[in-house]
Chain A
Amino acid sequence: MLRTGLFLIFLLLSSVFCLEDSTEEFEEHLSIKSLKDGRVAFSFTFKTLLRDAIPRDPRTLAFDNDDSQHYTLFPLTLGQILRQYAITELHLTLNAGKWNYDAWGYPDEPDVGVGAELRAWMAGDSISSIDDRWQGVRNALAGLFCASLGSLDEQRTTSPRSTFPPEGALPDWGLPHELRHASHASEHVCTENLTPFLKLLPCKSRSGLAMLLNPHRIFDADWHGIGLHVIWRPEGVEVRLSVQLVSDPLRVSGQKKQDWSFSSLFDRKVEKACPIAKSSRVSVELPSSGVYRVYPEPPQVKDGIAHYDLKNANEVWDIGTMWPTDFEYPLSKPNPALVPFSVRRNLLGSTQDRGQLSIVLTNNEQDVLQLLYLETMPWIIQFYLHTIRVHADDALRDDLISNISYILPIPHARPATFETVLTLPGQSTITFTMDVAKAFLRYTEHPPDAQRGWDLPPAIFTPLRQSSHNSTNLGKRVYSPSLLVDLATPDFSMPYNVIIFTCSVVAFIFGSVFNVLTRKFIVVRLEPQKRSESSPSKNLDSDESGKPDTSKSNVH
């Protein structure tokens, strides 16, 4: 009896411990920063952590018996895509606008390249299996996010060696991991991309911080971007969904004050806390100068950042900042500079068969800066590497460029991958120029709006830092703006013109030859006394004096 009693007590204890479920966690965080030019930068981060989960080993893809996926908070559609293609790490961003690093500093999420950018780390023992899975994950994400990611085919896919290290850990299966990166700078972002994004959140947009995501205001912002990041950490698989935007309260409100609040910028307030969020926080970075008021009163202010906890919110949250005086636009650049270096990238030249790629880099700091410069140029722009010239203050400096890694473009098949290290002396400006040739496309390769031109993906600059144990660390990435290249377009009406013209000429020649060969011209004598009872047509013929009646000849 004692043994059965102990067994029952053991059963009860174990059932008690099973009632606590901590395999999935969801956290949300909003970081707000007032920028010097009157704008406000918002960065929403929604993190779902699936504890003790491991990405799928690609060797198990041959067997179809994957573990069944039962999630409560982790999005199932995304989990299915990740496991079907055995993806270890995935980053997808859909951005619109130009991130102004000089005025706004670094963004919270570094991937701010315009358009769609997708990169994935996949393990595999053969290149073909990785490429097949890359195509599969592109199309699956295109269907999930209503974006044309299917067009990120091999003409836009590269594998840069150094610029994109994995953000998380890579499992050690004894298989090499490969990176695939593709970008499409002319991709539009609109509500149809935000709708499935919100459906990946556990609370959707009904409660918590996602209540603020009003598409009419997000897509009106000066810069906006949504991002999906899947990372494997030792704790488990983390899915991080981010929405970043830079709003202009001066434009939205039409007043001269840079006051902003949730209701004025998003037309929404946080009315309900997401009940399953482990933490739901808002951090407002307090401006360092000026007289202002942050409302409601922040319960905690640390290091110049006001923290609000919305987890146990019973009230409606409408966080905002008010200034008593009108806004004065800063007339000088911020000092010290918000970013250590500034980038300007242009395509020079006025012809449609060649041009010059020009990068102007300014080092805002005193120390020498080394930058890793990545260019993933589509094959329509072909580089001439022997024409690379680096000038620092009008003097040719060949020592400022080193470690060139170049993968040749294959026309109609592969873009160019160009990685090099540029050295910037302190407080100087260097100019990197390279001659390029523009391709002449086949008639069928032009997009429907061919006269617009082609968007070129942004170049990526990563500062290199020598750390103490002689290995280089990568700093925060900087994306240059995209370029628009105007390629020679043919006259699209020419095939129609040629067909019409050729057919007309052929018909004319054939018709004339046929007539000459088959028609017989005879002379028809007209009797003068039959004129009174003749047909009207004969009367007409007799008016033309003496001409043979050719219209009657085809009776034969």
Chain B
Amino acid sequence: MRLLSLSFSLFTFILLLSLSQSHASSQHTNNWAVLVCSSRYWFNYRHMANALGMYRTVKRLGIPDSNIILMLADDAACNERNSFAGSVYANPGRHLDLFGENIEVDYRGYEVTVENFLRLLTGRLPPSFPRSKRLLTDSSSNIFIYLTGHGGNEFLKFQDNEEVSAHDIADAFHQMYEGGRYNEIFFMVDTCQANSMYSKFYSPGILATGSSVVGENSYSHENDYDIGVAVIDSYTHYVLEYMEKVNKTSRLTMADLFTSYDVPKIGSHPGVRSDLFDRPLGPEHPMNEYGRGRGWTVEGGGEWVGREMEAEKRGRGLREALITDFFGGVVEVDVDGEGESVLQLFEDFECPPVFKEPTPPPIKTYSPPPPAPVSSTSLFDEYPFLRPSLAFVILGALFAFVFSGVISRRS
């Protein structure tokens, strides 16, 4: 009897252990994105281009408009100073219009405030707020949060008028954790001294990256002389350039993204924080070299909080963090818990090499669809009552035939 109870308790213990392990690697079921441009005025065009570039990338990789909250503090596309009405470009040659023809901006103009941002994250919105302005995430949502604007040591400026501090965002994230409003968060920030913005987080499941260390500025990338201002920031430009290689079924990991940071090109030292994130960032070899390659002049390698924990995470055998976990819509949904069978499909898929210089994407030219073939107007289109009357006649004849047959058989 004792042996039976002991074995039973041992069995349940092992079962719970295995279940808890599978919970740690539980997949998300939906993706959300919160893209915030917090600066106003025409000369901050590049911040709006940053946010719109991320918007386009995130939409291309599969997150629908209903799951994207886009906050733009000013109107750059239809600004009176914009020579190219309705368009926002991120490169001097004006190859790609980021605004496009199908865009939904959820918070715009004066609505982009610190209060609205924090209320959006924590969900404490008045009942009058429409659905499109709410972050309707649940405990299995992965959220990609991108902030850009002017900032400094542990603060980000909103509309040149107020600031949000890193402590506020950390507290908002903890409220989200307590409320079960996210599965994992990927936090990216492109401002001056950006790495200080994620230094205060204390909730589990957050992976963060920033564009420059404390005491360092982030720089803009290129100017366009017809638009008249700088059109993109360099950190975001190189991240977007890398993301052009990623498509919906890509198996590139977060480690691939982070090791693509090229400090001489970006002009500042990006950082990573993964100590709150419980999954490994990628395969061992490339991530070990993070921050130690050329250009990383910061003492002790590039800033990566959580470097020591990486090997231990890999040892636990958890799933690696893929770029499409945060940037795209869910491609494989684990319904019955047998995720391995889906992963089998990607066994023979060849991942592109990480250290290759990313090739610029081919410029897609829009060609209008060929004109529709000429369709002849049929008799039915000219006399619209012909079809139902013909149906009536045919059905009536059929019924009459059947009935007469039945009647004759009876009599």
In the bound complex, what is the Cα–Cα distance between A139 and B104 (angstroms)?
16
In the bound complex, what is the Cα–Cα distance between A448 and B74 (angstroms)?
11
In the complex formed, the residue of A with least CB distance to B372 is A272
Contact with B along A206-219 (1 / 0, CB 8 A): 00000000111111
- Whether A449 contacts B105 in the complex (CB less than 8 A), given A143-B131, A271-B371, comes out as no
In the complex formed, the residue of A with least CB distance to B107 is A148
Give the segment of A119-127, A184-192, A281-289, A349-357 that binds chain B: A184-192
Task: Flag whether A488 is at the interface (Cβ < 8 A).
Answer: no
Cβ of B75: which chain A residues have Cβ within 8 Å of it? 188, 190
Cβ of A9: which chain B residues have Cβ within 8 Å of it? 396
In the complex the two chains form, is A148's CB within 8 Å of B377's CB?
A: no
Q: How many residues of A contact B (CB 8 A)?
A: 46
In the bound complex, what is the Cα–Cα distance between A151 and B110 (angstroms)?
9
Cβ of A96: which chain B residues have Cβ within 8 Å of it? 78
Task: Flag whether A62 is at the interface (Cβ < 8 A).
Answer: no
In the complex the two chains form, is A448's CB within 8 Å of B160's CB?
A: yes
Task: Flag whether A395 is at the interface (Cβ < 8 A).
Answer: no
In the complex formed, the residue of A with least CB distance to B396 is A12
- Whether A136 contacts B104 in the complex (CB less than 8 A), given A8-B399, A12-B396, A188-B78, comes out as no
Give the segment of B142-150, B236-244, B265-273, B385-393 that binds chain A: B385-393
In the complex formed, the residue of A with least CB distance to B161 is A448
Task: Flag whether B6 is at the interface (Cβ < 8 A).
Answer: no
Task: Flag whether A494 is at the interface (Cβ < 8 A).
Answer: no
Give the segment of B21-29, B95-103, B256-264 that binds chain A: B95-103
Cβ of A143: which chain B residues have Cβ within 8 Å of it? 129-133
In the complex the two chains form, is A448's CB within 8 Å of B375's CB?
A: no
- Shortest Cβ gap from A101 to chain B (Å): 22
Chain A positions 1-41 with a Cβ under 8 Å from a chain B Cβ? 1, 5, 8-9, 12-13, 16-17, 19-20
In the complex the two chains form, is B374's CB within 8 Å of A16's CB?
A: no
Task: Flag whether A312 is at the interface (Cβ < 8 A).
Answer: yes
- Whether A12 contacts B372 in the complex (CB less than 8 A), given A191-B77, A215-B86, comes out as no
In the complex the two chains form, is B407's CB within 8 Å of A192's CB?
A: no
- Shortest Cβ gap from A186 to chain B (Å): 8
In the bound complex, what is the Cα–Cα distance between A157 and B105 (angstroms)?
25
Task: Flag whether B171 is at the interface (Cβ < 8 A).
Answer: no
Chain B positions 206-246 with a Cβ under 8 Å from a chain A Cβ? none
In the complex the two chains form, is A195's CB within 8 Å of B86's CB?
A: no
Task: Flag whether B395 is at the interface (Cβ < 8 A).
Answer: yes
- Shortest Cβ gap from B83 to chain A (Å): 9
In the complex the two chains form, is B128's CB within 8 Å of A150's CB?
A: yes
- Shortest Cβ gap from A313 to chain B (Å): 10
Task: Flag whether A144 is at the interface (Cβ < 8 A).
Answer: yes
In the complex formed, the residue of B with least CB distance to A186 is B109
In the complex formed, the residue of B with least CB distance to A312 is B377
Task: Flag whether B138 is at the interface (Cβ < 8 A).
Answer: no
In the complex formed, the residue of A with least CB distance to B77 is A190
In the complex the two chains form, is B392's CB within 8 Å of A13's CB?
A: yes
Contact with A along B28-42 (1 / 0, CB 8 A): 000000000000110
- Shortest Cβ gap from A262 to chain B (Å): 14
Please pick, from B110, B371, B387, the residue contacting A448 in the complex, using a CB distance under 8 A.
Answer: B110
In the bound complex, what is the Cα–Cα distance between A217 and B85 (angstroms)?
7
Please pick, from A189, A271, A316, A449, the residue contacting B78 in the complex, using a CB distance under 8 A.
Answer: A189
- Whether A449 contacts B40 in the complex (CB less than 8 A), given A143-B130, A314-B375, comes out as yes
In the complex the two chains form, is A215's CB within 8 Å of B375's CB?
A: no
Task: Flag whether B165 is at the interface (Cβ < 8 A).
Answer: no
- Whether A448 contacts B104 in the complex (CB less than 8 A), given A216-B87, A272-B372, comes out as no
Best-surrounded residue of A191, A217, A312 (most CB of chain B within 10 A): A191
Cβ of B403: which chain A residues have Cβ within 8 Å of it? 1, 5
Q: How many residues of B contact A (CB 8 A)?
A: 51
Main secondary structure of the interface of B (DSSP, over half): loop
In the complex the two chains form, is A195's CB within 8 Å of B104's CB?
A: yes
- Shortest Cβ gap from B50 to chain A (Å): 17
- Shortest Cβ gap from B55 to chain A (Å): 11
Task: Flag whether A140 is at the interface (Cβ < 8 A).
Answer: yes
- Whether A220 contacts B131 in the complex (CB less than 8 A), given A146-B105, A192-B108, comes out as no
In the complex formed, the residue of B with least CB distance to A218 is B86
Cβ of A135: which chain B residues have Cβ within 8 Å of it? 128
Main secondary structure of the interface of A (DSSP, over half): helix
In the complex the two chains form, is A20's CB within 8 Å of B388's CB?
A: yes
Best-surrounded residue of A140, A190, A449 (most CB of chain B within 10 A): A190
In the complex the two chains form, is B104's CB within 8 Å of A192's CB?
A: yes
In the complex the two chains form, is A220's CB within 8 Å of B396's CB?
A: no
In the complex the two chains form, is A146's CB within 8 Å of B108's CB?
A: yes
Contact with B along A180-204 (1 / 0, CB 8 A): 0000000111111001100000000
In the bound complex, what is the Cα–Cα distance between A96 and B86 (angstroms)?
13
In the bound complex, what is the Cα–Cα distance between A5 and B110 (angstroms)?
71
Task: Flag whether B106 is at the interface (Cβ < 8 A).
Answer: yes
In the complex the two chains form, is B388's CB within 8 Å of A16's CB?
A: yes
Chain A positions 410-426 with a Cβ under 8 Å from a chain B Cβ? none
Please pick, from B99, B108, B392, the residue contacting A16 in the complex, using a CB distance under 8 A.
Answer: B392
Cβ of A142: which chain B residues have Cβ within 8 Å of it? 130
- Whether A191 contacts B99 in the complex (CB less than 8 A), given A1-B403, A146-B104, A146-B108, comes out as yes
- Whether A196 contacts B104 in the complex (CB less than 8 A), given A190-B86, A449-B40, comes out as yes
Task: Flag whether A447 is at the interface (Cβ < 8 A).
Answer: yes
Contact with B along A60-88 (1 / 0, CB 8 A): 00000000000000000000000000000
In the complex the two chains form, is B101's CB within 8 Å of A448's CB?
A: no
- Whether A220 contacts B85 in the complex (CB less than 8 A), given A8-B399, A314-B375, comes out as yes
In the bound complex, what is the Cα–Cα distance between A148 and B97 (angstroms)?
24
Please pick, from B78, B374, B375, B407, the residue contacting A219 in the complex, using a CB distance under 8 A.
Answer: B78
Task: Flag whether B308 is at the interface (Cβ < 8 A).
Answer: no
In the complex formed, the residue of B with least CB distance to A314 is B374
In the bound complex, what is the Cα–Cα distance between A220 and B83 (angstroms)?
9
Best-surrounded residue of B84, B86, B160 (most CB of chain A within 10 A): B86
Chain A positions 132-160 with a Cβ under 8 Å from a chain B Cβ? 135-136, 139-140, 142-144, 146, 148, 150-151
- Shortest Cβ gap from B165 to chain A (Å): 15
Chain A positions 424-445 with a Cβ under 8 Å from a chain B Cβ? none
Task: Flag whether B284 is at the interface (Cβ < 8 A).
Answer: no
Chain A positions 214-257 with a Cβ under 8 Å from a chain B Cβ? 214-220
In the complex the two chains form, is A219's CB within 8 Å of B85's CB?
A: yes
Cβ of A271: which chain B residues have Cβ within 8 Å of it? 371-372
In the bound complex, what is the Cα–Cα distance between A215 and B84 (angstroms)?
11
In the complex formed, the residue of B with least CB distance to A492 is B161
Cβ of B372: which chain A residues have Cβ within 8 Å of it? 271-272
In the bound complex, what is the Cα–Cα distance between A188 and B72 (angstroms)?
12
Task: Flag whether B312 is at the interface (Cβ < 8 A).
Answer: no
Best-surrounded residue of B41, B75, B104 (most CB of chain A within 10 A): B104
- Shortest Cβ gap from A278 to chain B (Å): 12
Contact with A along B379-411 (1 / 0, CB 8 A): 000001101110110011001100100010000
Task: Flag whether B122 is at the interface (Cβ < 8 A).
Answer: no
In the complex the two chains form, is B100's CB within 8 Å of A191's CB?
A: yes
Cβ of A215: which chain B residues have Cβ within 8 Å of it? 86, 101
Chain B positions 86-138 with a Cβ under 8 Å from a chain A Cβ? 86-87, 97, 99-106, 108-111, 128-133
In the bound complex, what is the Cα–Cα distance between A187 and B162 (angstroms)?
22
Please pick, from A136, A220, A314, A448, the residue contacting B86 in the complex, using a CB distance under 8 A.
Answer: A220
Task: Flag whether B67 is at the interface (Cβ < 8 A).
Answer: no
In the bound complex, what is the Cα–Cα distance between A9 and B399 (angstroms)?
9
In the bound complex, what is the Cα–Cα distance between A11 and B132 (angstroms)?
47
Contact with B along A501-533 (1 / 0, CB 8 A): 000000000000000000000000000000000
In the complex formed, the residue of B with least CB distance to A138 is B128
Q: Given A16-B388, A146-B108, A216-B87, 13 other A-B contacts at CB below 8 A?
A: A8-B399, A16-B391, A142-B130, A143-B131, A146-B106, A150-B129, A151-B110, A190-B105, A192-B108, A214-B101, A272-B372, A448-B40, A448-B161
7 A-B pairs with the lowest CB-CB distances in the bound complex, closest first: A143-B130, A220-B85, A190-B78, A448-B159, A448-B161, A192-B105, A188-B75
12 contacts between A and B (CB under 8 A): A12-B396, A144-B132, A150-B129, A192-B105, A192-B108, A215-B86, A220-B86, A312-B377, A314-B375, A448-B40, A448-B159, A492-B161
